[in-house]
A and B are shown apart, each in its own frame.
Chain A
Amino acid sequence: MPKSAVLLFDVVPSFLVKLTAPYYIHKIPYRLRILVFVALSTCGMLLIALTPSSISDAKPGQKPGVPDRSEILVKMGGVVLASLSSGGGELSFLGLTHFYGPFSLAAWGSGTGGAGLVGAGAYVIATTTLGLGVKNSLLAFSFLPVIMLLSFFLVLPKSQALKKTTSYQRIPDAADEDAEEDAEDERVDEGLLSQRSSVRGSVRGSVRRSSPGYPSQSKLDNAWRSFKANFLRARSLFFP
């Protein structure tokens, strides 16, 4: 399998998660997210480590076989799981730094930098200096995600904001619709950078048109407005 294809399996899932998750992941509490990411990472690594390999399992004197389709697909599946965990984890932990002050961002940056060094170095040490085979090295590293569990649940100080499911913005209830609509539009507009007036007009226009009359319609409306507000925020972040 060409190197570039493996890279795609590693990078594309992470990219898709980071692109879409900010719009829905705020519904999932942080504790649950961490558990899911640790599970994904561990399963991914185990899948790769434990899939019988026709290359490394070849008997001495026997020519190593060409890996068959199913072996490759299962291993790529492992890579995909790890990539999903990596993408989701990165954006979650980044968002979490919001609750812990500016130094947490500095520490997080340093940690991700160190991960690059340690990740590459540990594999080299395990396979060359320590002489562990590829399979055993991967098996050993499958336990690394447990450190994430320990650091999140035991080391990290509890923050008030993690107690309940957070949402990015308060959704006005049906009674205050009209008054809050204007206020909300103003807040979105005066956000980080100034919005172009045409954008402002279209948001206001679509919000007015979709004024709900019934509770069920209102929930969908709120979700749509929340999505739209988030999308506009993301758009305005593009050119700092």
Chain B
Amino acid sequence: MLPLLLVYIAEYTINQGVAPTLLFPLDETPFSHYRAFYPTYNALYQLGVFISRSSLPFLRVRSLYMPSLFQCLNLLVLGLHALFPFIPNVYCVFLIVFWEGLLGGLVYVSTFRRIQEEVREEDREFSLGATSVSDSGGICIAGFLGMALETGLCAWQVAHGRDWCRRL
């Protein structure tokens, strides 16, 4: 349950807390409004999730902790960029957000697949259901973290001369 919990905390914190502040000057992007960034990030993320959640018949990743670690790294990198911009352009962020979706979906299906394979027959039905609490728990926790992060990051950006997050 723990890797799933971690992945969801990181993922939803990125989506709710950090993504709204990942903005670039409009002329460097294909957008004409600042409010277009967020839905695009969301769409790319969902695409990544869909692809990795459909990957079970083709790809098996045994480790649950490695992808979770990478997801937390994603949160760190994107959070740092919101504070001290170092990512050169928006297309790199597109890639990272897509990668975030891939990781999230991967841990999700891999966790349940591991339960199917490793938990003995009579416990399996219960275990499958019981483990689903980890993603909800992660979303709950991320909801609170995201609230704080979004306001905090935006305020920081405005104080450092980048008021795009207020111009949504």
- Within B118-133, the residues touching A (CB, 8 Å) are 118-120, 122-133
Are the CB atoms of B42 and A98 closer together than 8 Å? no
How many pairs of A and B residues are in contact by the CB < 8 Å rule? 143
> From DSSP, what is the main secondary structure of chain B's interface residues?
helix
Which of A72-80, A136-144, A206-214, A231-239 lies at the interface? A231-239
| Interface flag for B147 (CB, 8 Å) | yes
* Residue ranges of A at the interface with B (Cβ–Cβ < 8 Å): 4, 7-8, 11-12, 14-15, 18-19, 21-22, 25-26, 87, 90-92, 94-95, 97-99, 102-103, 105-106, 109-110, 112-114, 116-117, 120, 124, 166, 168-169, 191-192, 230, 233-234, 237-240
Q: Assuming the A-B contacts A92-B129, A113-B49, A237-B1, are A11 and B109 also in contact, with contact meaning beta carbons closer than 8 angstroms in the complex?
A: no
Contact yes or no, B1 A238, CB < 8 A: yes
Which residues in B have their C-beta under 8 angstroms from that of A105? 56, 109, 112-113, 116
Given contacts A18-B133, A22-B130, A168-B122, contact A110 B54 (CB under 8 A): yes
Give how many B residues have a beta carbon under 8 Å from the other chain's beta carbons.
Answer: 50
A111 CB to nearest chain B CB (Å): 8
For B147, list chain A residues within 8 Å (CB).
4
| Contact between A18 and B54, CB atoms less than 8 A apart | no
A106 touching B57 in the complex, CB below 8 Å, given contacts A8-B143, A95-B125: yes
